[in-house]
Amino acid sequence: MALPPPDPQFVLRGTSAAVHTLHFSCGGQEPDVPILFSGSENGFIHVWNLKTHRVDVALDGHGRKSVYCVQTMGGKDRLLSQGRDQRICTWDLAEGRTSVTDSVFTENVGFCRCSLLKVAQGRWLMAMAAKATDEVQVLELPSKTSVCTLKPEVGAKLGMPMCLKLWQLSCGSQPLLLAGYEDGSVVLWNLSMGKALSQLVCHQEPVMSFDFDSEKAKGISGSSEKVLSIWSLDEQQNLQVYKTHKLVNAGISDITIRPDKKILATAGWDHRLRIFGWKKLKPLAVLDYHTATVHCVSFSDHKNPSERLLAAGSKDHRISIWSIYSQT
Amino acid sequence: MAVFDTPQEAFGVLRPVCVQLTQAQTPENVARLQARLAAVGAAALQELQEYVLFPLRFALRAPGPRRERLAQSAVRCVSAVLAATRVRRPELLRELLSELSTCLPAPGGSGKPAPQAEELTLAAIEALHTLLHSAHGDVVLSLYQPATLPLLGFAVSSLLGLAEHEKAKQIKISALKCLQVLVLQCDCQEHRHLDADEAQQCGDLFASFLPGISITLSRVITGDIKQGHKPTVSAIRLFYLIVGLVMADAQLARVPKSREKLPAEQSRISELMVHRGPDWSKSTAEKLLLLLRKIVEFCSVHPHWKVRLELVELVQHLLQNCSQSLVDSFSHLLKALVGLVNDENPEVQKRCQEVLQGMAEQGMVAQNRALADVLSENLHSLATALPRLINAQDDTGKVSTLSLLLGYLKLLGPKVNIVLNSMSHLQRLSKALMQVLELDVTDVKIVEDRGGGSASPCGPVGSLARRSQRKYFRFFTEEKVFQLLQQVCRVLGYYGNLYLLVDHFTGLYSESGVYRKQAAMVLNELLAGAAGVGVDVLQEREVSPNVDDLKGTITSILDEYTDQANWYLVTSIDPEEISHERSVQHSKFTAHPGGACSSVLLPSPEPPTTTRTMNSNIWQICIQLEGIGCFATVLGREFRLLLLSALYPVLEKAGDKTLLISETALGTLADICEACGYDSVQSLINENSDYLVNGISLNLRQLTHQLHASQVLDTMLRHSDASLLPLVDDVIQDVLAALDQSYNHQAPAFLKVLHSVTAALDEVLPCAKLDPNSSDTEGEAPLPSHAQLAKDTMERCIHLLSDGHLRVRLQALDVLELCVTVLHPHGNHLLPLAHRAWPALVTRLISDDPLAVLRAFKVLCTLAQWCGDFLRQRFSRDVLPTLTSSLRSQAPASARAGPIYSHTLAFKLQLAVLQGLGALCQRLDMGESDLNKVADACLIYLSAKQPMKLQEAAQSVFLHLMHMDPDSTWLLLSEICCPCRYRPPHASLRPVQLPGMGRQRDEFTDNVLGLLERLRQQESTEPRAGAHRDPPP
């Protein structure tokens, strides 16, 4: 008999709004406490202390407009956040400061999360949906100089970009961008040429989220349908459908592959988290706690594997924290 | 009065009497001399010292049988001379010593002195004493040469003989004092301090006497108790002084390997001399061991405290001087010392404490491996014997045994780790503690005392003065014994290796249910000790454990304590609880009482739930709770970080139905408040509501834990106020959701929570009313959250109104009433709910258990207060007929009934209905026909035959009716009894004729008249417009 699905290890309450994005920062050395950043619909970014399970500080920088993307740049002291106020802000949180150091006006009205890639010490590339509905713009941070703008060919009708991921095969090699579009396709872009290398229609509906494993050159995407699509990238940099996986309930809002590439988690509109083995997409667990759509799911980057966690944020205002490492 | 200050004058005065004495040696002549002496100045006498002494010595040496009277007076006179002068010539000293010694009774063959007059003996002893004080410095030292050994020996043995055999106490004491001076250990300050060489020389000399002196003194010490304490005290003193001198480590270290060659002429003497080489000291130490053991055994229980005090001095002196030479004796000496720490006499106690303190401060044990070994050996054998002793001794004996144990540990100090590192030592010690600390779990009351869960909210933190529950042990009752055991554990924790100890006792804790409670007690105390809380030690430890280590250790113990198998134990036979605890425990072993005698070897698969088991389980939980409180105290504010995991379980237990557990848990909460700096349990709960809510929410997900989760929420609400509601709002929805899924199992528990919730909501109400957009705009505006909560709750209660269990129905009615109160400002929401609740409520009112009827009637009254219009029709249609008919049918019964009737449910029901009916009618603004029905039914209760309370209640109904319809009420009452006649205002009108007029006084008269009087008053104070009826007279 299979073990009953586990309960959350802890539930964080107090955002008083739907939670849209989560990001762990647990990599610090000992006196540093592990931290979870959450962005919620009321425009606040909460900094959760994972030792006390309490909010250390709440950041207010997006004019009370929904925050749907939070990422760290290096340590936990530099934060990047994106909100529905069409701004991407960088924060300085060192020594208790809570100030916005810089911001980019995206002029984009969608809710496509931006993607960050560290290219050198103190230099990042950031891909974001641009003002024109179907364009993606890549900037260099912190200088904010535009690297390129990726426009689909005329008549491609991809629609708005929905989700982005910058990646590179190895450190120093050519950065690439994967983007999921409104029409259900995933496109691989070459940044230096500003040209699409490959396009694959994965879904009939907009791609809500995807994650890509550059080691196995395999990605997985979800949409509002009842299906997960797994696709691969061959040597010639062509995207191909690898397989699809049927789901019981429709609607996936977030997909994340665990950093060790062994399992992945999906956040479902059916209020549930699902855990799959990454290799064969074997369903491992259904985590049922939330009482509304789960918006985001994130794995922690703690050095000690036994302390690594999974967090999910939901429309029900709660963030559930799960410890599933020991079981997988 | 010295008159003659010059030697010449003095000589002139003294010479005649001296001559006279030389010629005729009589006591009278001696007396004459002594009389003259008094008039001579000291300086003059010094010049004439030998001249004066001569005739006296001559008198003493007089040939022939001794004339005692003469000898006595001569000795006294010598003494007087010596007291005023100094002996400056060594020869004189020697001669006088010899001559005075011969005045002592000579030791006979068996050591017994020959009989002699006491006065003479005493005088001789005193003279010797004076002699030794009148000689100074080098002169005295000249006495302590090998050559004088025989002379000294004679004096010593004579004095010893007296000390041992003399009956007269005074002589005994003087002899001992004198001996003390003789061996240069006088207490007075006049003597010159010996330098190391001189001391060494004397030591060599006295070594010859040591066997004699020590054996004799030990006999004196352990002699007949009737001799009084003074000789014993002096003998002890002399014993340790001489032993301390001869066996001094410092001296023995300087003794050359081989014996010194003495000049040939002294060869005979040298045979008497002892060479204090290693062999000698070893064999002497062995012999002294026997004597010391005897002395210690005898003196440590001596009835006189001064003897015991002197024993402490003995130990101190020997430890100080002979810690190497007499190391083997220390086992006994330390035992005596440690044992006397708790002496009944405060001075002994104090001195003992000082000595121990001194030892610890000097690091005597820490630096002396041999001593540490002795102590750990003692400890081991005591630990081995402890269970037996505790079993056999009375409480006083136990106290002394444990004091001993404690003393050893304290003395060992940091060296205690030698003991702990040896597995066998640690095992012995821990097993002994396990056995001694066994609780008595036979008390049925512990299990029977219930009602903790609904205990009234506790007061401020300070009121919880009693920090820990009084425990009852199997082997002792004295609180002092427990305190000692507590100290033992704390001292262990203070000095010992904490990891090792915690590991060991955690092992015992999980090893067997037999040890679990004791091991938990020990663990709690160990941690307190480790943190230095409430521990009394002799010396500071070198390193204190750091907070992180303590926190780590405490976290692991906490995990162990709150593990399901150790936390959810069967503590009652309440089937509601037991099923949960059982299912929680699965296959884990349950705690099993029985102690050492119960067989641990036989596995008992599922022990039956006996009172003993439950009692034992209750105690285990309490001890663990106390532990949590103790850990909080240990960590102080740092404990806040552990609240995440610790607070929820404690609150679970604060809601436990067993009184002892809930009280203990409240104590723990108070401890936590104090340690973490919260000023009340309420602020502790409010500020950590997020942790608790999380626990509740997660536990609600599991059927087996739902009961606990609801208990925690209930406790939170009980100990806090409405300010908590916004914090727990979220989780109350979870409770409702959980209730929806398990009506069958958990309804009572959930209803209890809902009751607390709604009661809290009720408190919020006044504040909510001030909120302008909450009420008036009825309907369209969203319901404020507290009202929404009440609405959700009320919906659940409606279902439960028809539950199969009476208890559930009653609870549901209570909650319903509160919900109605909370919801009343929101009529649009309340009325539909009231409509839905109505059928079930009617059923409760007309065909349920009387208890339910009673409560349902209360709900009805409340409901009437807020939705009168809604109820009027329904009440008169569905309920009123039944109520009135039951009132009518019950009336004959209550009219007949005796005094016991007022305790019956039927009476309470009648009373409640009568008390409430009037107000109900008024609120519902009932129509005339209904009022008539009510009046009819109540009228019979105005009978004087009814119990008084029912009469009063019936009157209250009529008072309400009077307000609503005074006229018809007047008419109705007047028909029963009308005290006066009414004259028509005009002759043409017919005379007023009422049925009540002119009636005989009957059972209704008094009440009716009273009511009519009230009516009259009412009418006169508030005259009605347009009324033109004749006012009642």
B-proximal residues of A, 286-325, CB under 8 Å: 289, 317
Interface-testing mutation among A7, A12, A322, with chain B (most B C-beta atoms within 10 A): A7
Check CB contact under 8 Å for A8 and B698: yes
Of B641, B644, B694, Cβ closest to residue A11: B694
Given this model, what pLDDT does residue A16 score? 87
Of A11, A14, A53, Cβ closest to residue B698: A11
Given this model, what pLDDT does residue B642 score? 93
Q: Calculate how close chain B gets to A3, using CA atoms only, in Å.
A: 14
Using a CB-CB distance cutoff of 8 angstroms, which residues of chain B are in contact with residue A51? 641
Check CB contact under 8 Å for B644 and A7: no
B-proximal residues of A, 192-251, CB under 8 Å: none
Instruction: For residue B502, give the nearest of B460, B559, B454, B573 by alpha carbon.
Output: B559
Given this model, what pLDDT does residue A264 score? 94
Q: 């009835």: which residue's tokens?
A: B303
Given this model, what pLDDT does residue B108 score? 60
Interface-testing mutation among B730, B734, B735, with chain A (most A C-beta atoms within 10 A): B730
Q: Calculate how close chain B gets to A247, using CA atoms only, in Å.
A: 25
Check CB contact under 8 Å for A13 and B691: no
Q: What is the CATH number of domain A20-104?
A: 2.40.10.480
Given this model, what pLDDT does residue B533 score? 85
- Model confidence pLDDT, tens digit, residues A206-244: 999 999 998 899 999 999 999 999 999 988 889 998 899
Using a CB-CB distance cutoff of 8 angstroms, which residues of chain A are in contact with residue B701? 7, 289
Q: Is the Cβ–Cβ distance between B57 and B19 less than 8 Å?
A: no
Using a CB-CB distance cutoff of 8 angstroms, which residues of chain B are in contact with residue A11? 694, 697-698
- Model confidence pLDDT, tens digit, residues B97-142: 888 888 887 766 555 666 677 788 888 888 888 888 888 777 888 8
Given this model, what pLDDT does residue B668 score? 94
Given this model, what pLDDT does residue B265 score? 60
B-proximal residues of A, 4-23, CB under 8 Å: 7-8, 10-11, 13-14
Instruction: For residue B624, give the nearest of B658, B589, B650 by alpha carbon.
Output: B650
Nearest CA in chain B to A55: B690
Check if A123 contacts B (Cβ < 8 Å).
Answer: no
Burial class (CB in 10 A: 0-12, 13-18, 19+), A6: middle
Q: How far apart are CA B442 and CA B456, in angstroms?
A: 28
Note the ipTM here.
0.88
- The proportion of chain B whose per-residue pLDDT surpasses 90, expressed as a percent, equals 14
Q: Calculate how close chain A gets to B793, using CA atoms only, in Å.
A: 19
User: pLDDT: is A170 or B745 the higher one?
Assistant: A170
A-proximal residues of B, 684-713, CB under 8 Å: 690-691, 693-694, 697-698, 701-702
Of A8, A51, A54, Cβ closest to residue B690: A54
- Model confidence pLDDT, tens digit, residues B526-585: 999 999 888 888 788 888 888 889 999 999 999 999 998 899 888 877 665 555 555 554
Check CB contact under 8 Å for B690 and A14: yes
Residue B457 has pLDDT above 60, yes or no: no
Amino acid at B220: V
What letter does residue B783 receive in the DSSP assignment?
Answer: P
Q: Calculate how close chain B gets to A227, using CA atoms only, in Å.
A: 29
Would you give the distance in Å from CA B93 to the centre of its chain? 65
Check if A53 contacts B (Cβ < 8 Å).
Answer: yes
Given this model, what pLDDT does residue A67 score? 95
- Model confidence pLDDT, tens digit, residues B375-408: 888 888 888 888 888 888 888 888 888 888 888 8
Check if A51 contacts B (Cβ < 8 Å).
Answer: yes
Q: Calculate how close chain B gets to A56, using CA atoms only, in Å.
A: 14
Residue B623 has pLDDT above 80, yes or no: yes
Q: How far apart are CA A34 and CA B249, in angstroms?
A: 63
Nearest CA in chain A to B690: A13
Nearest CA in chain B to A13: B690
Check if B877 contacts A (Cβ < 8 Å).
Answer: no
Q: What is the DSSP string of B819-854?
A: HHHHHTT-HHHHHHHHHHHHHHHHHHHHSS-HHHHH
Check CB contact under 8 Å for A13 and B730: yes
SS3 label, residue B811: helix
Using a CB-CB distance cutoff of 8 angstroms, which residues of chain B are in contact with residue A14? 690
Check CB contact under 8 Å for B641 and A51: yes
pTM of this prediction? Answer: 0.78
Listed as own residue / partner, the contacts of B892-898 with beta carbons closer than 8 Å and 24 or more positions apart are B894/B946, B894/B947, B894/B950, B895/B940, B895/B943, B895/B945, B895/B946, B896/B945, B897/B947
Given this model, what pLDDT does residue B822 score? 87
- Taking all residues of chain B, what is their mean pLDDT, rounded to a whole number? 82
Check CB contact under 8 Å for A52 and B644: yes
- Model confidence pLDDT, tens digit, residues A113-144: 999 999 888 899 999 998 888 899 999 988 99
Q: What is the residue extent of each domain of chain A?
A: 20-104
**Banded pLDDT at B88 (limits 50, 70, 90):** confident
**Banded pLDDT at B1022 (limits 50, 70, 90):** low
Check if A52 contacts B (Cβ < 8 Å).
Answer: yes
Output the six-digit token pair for B584.
């929680």
- Model confidence pLDDT, tens digit, residues B470-508: 888 888 888 888 989 999 999 999 999 999 999 999 999
Using a CB-CB distance cutoff of 8 angstroms, which residues of chain B are in contact with residue A289? 701
- Model confidence pLDDT, tens digit, residues A69-109: 999 998 888 999 999 999 999 999 988 888 899 999 988 88
Of B694, B701, B702, Cβ closest to residue A10: B694
Of the listed ranges A84-93, B110-119, B745-754, B756-765, the one predicted with least confidence? B110-119
Check if B730 contacts A (Cβ < 8 Å).
Answer: yes
Q: How far apart are CA B655 and CA B665, in angstroms?
A: 9
Using a CB-CB distance cutoff of 8 angstroms, which residues of chain A are in contact with residue B694? 10-11, 13, 53
What letter does residue B265 receive in the DSSP assignment?
Answer: G
Interface-testing mutation among A52, A291, A318, with chain B (most B C-beta atoms within 10 A): A52
Strand partners, A47: A37, A57
User: pLDDT: is A20 or B769 the higher one?
Assistant: A20
Given this model, what pLDDT does residue B456 score? 43
Within B723-826, residue ranges assigned H as helices are 725-741, 743-770, 785-800, 806-823
Check CB contact under 8 Å for A53 and B691: yes
Degrees (nearest 5) of the Cα angle B1013, B1019, B1023? 165
Check CB contact under 8 Å for B691 and A14: no
Given this model, what pLDDT does residue B594 score? 37
CB-based contacts of A211, cutoff 8 Å, min separation 6: A165, A219, A220, A255, A256, A257, A264
